[in-house]
A = this chain, B = another copy of it.
């Protein structure tokens, strides 16, 4: 029985890892589609989201079954309820990749506003923070989770820089750029929200491991 439970937990970890890999791939592909204003690539990201939606439900049911059948205590219970939350966060990250792909669709028929540099950087951060958060969960590595929490400020600064440039150097100088600048501004915000979800995941993991509430007091980590 005990060994069976451990095996189930291992499966749960590997399913969550799969979910994270799908989310990361969706981010990369959505940012590429945006960079190249590639309608077909954008549509592929949108179409493939259904795979994450199904896996989310499978993982959710597995978590409930694990609680109902094995009635785990303290540590294992917190591990499973944390898995429920991470699963929901990953599904949201997939939705945000779809949002980025939708912004790519919006600009796909229009001339290039500017070559994108900062937005792909933000995409890289979003992908990396998502990967580190799930790694921190699987290894129970709070130091890695804390690094994710602290890297959010950088993502926030980058998003702000993108917004400022688009508003003051494009939209306010040349009105005709607005219908291309707004989708880019929104894409930067979508990617920064992926980073926020990675931070939420990291906070849940720290809470799970240390049972200390850090969620609303990031200053205590510094």
Contacts and interface: CB of A to CB of B under 8 A. Distances in A.
Interface string A134-174: 00000000000000000000000000000100011001111
A15 interface: no
A183 to B, nearest CB: 10
A182 B171 CA distance: 10
A68 B74 CA distance: 7
A53 to B, nearest CB: 4
A166 to B, nearest CB: 9
A77 B67 contact: yes
Contacts of A173: 175
With most chain B CB atoms within 10 A of its CB, the pick from A53, A64, A175, A179 is A175
Contacts of A186: 189
Interface of A: 50, 53-54, 57, 63-64, 67-68, 71, 73-74, 77-78, 81, 84-85, 88, 163, 167-168, 171-176, 178-179, 182, 185-186, 189, 213, 215-216
Contacts of A167: 178-179, 182
Nearest to A193: B193
A93 B136 CA distance: 27
Contact of A179 (B84, B172, B216): B172
Given A171-B178, A178-B178, A182-B167, A77 B64 contact: yes
Given A50-B216, A88-B88, A172 B168 contact: no
B215 A57 contact: yes
23 contacts: A53-B216, A54-B216, A57-B213, A57-B215, A64-B77, A64-B78, A67-B67, A67-B77, A68-B73, A68-B74, A81-B81, A84-B84, A84-B85, A163-B182, A168-B179, A171-B171, A171-B175, A171-B182, A172-B176, A174-B175, A175-B178, A182-B182, A186-B189
A109 B103 CA distance: 30
Given A171-B171, A171-B182, 15 more contacts: A53-B215, A57-B215, A64-B78, A67-B81, A68-B73, A68-B77, A71-B71, A81-B81, A81-B84, A85-B88, A163-B182, A167-B179, A182-B182, A182-B185, A186-B189
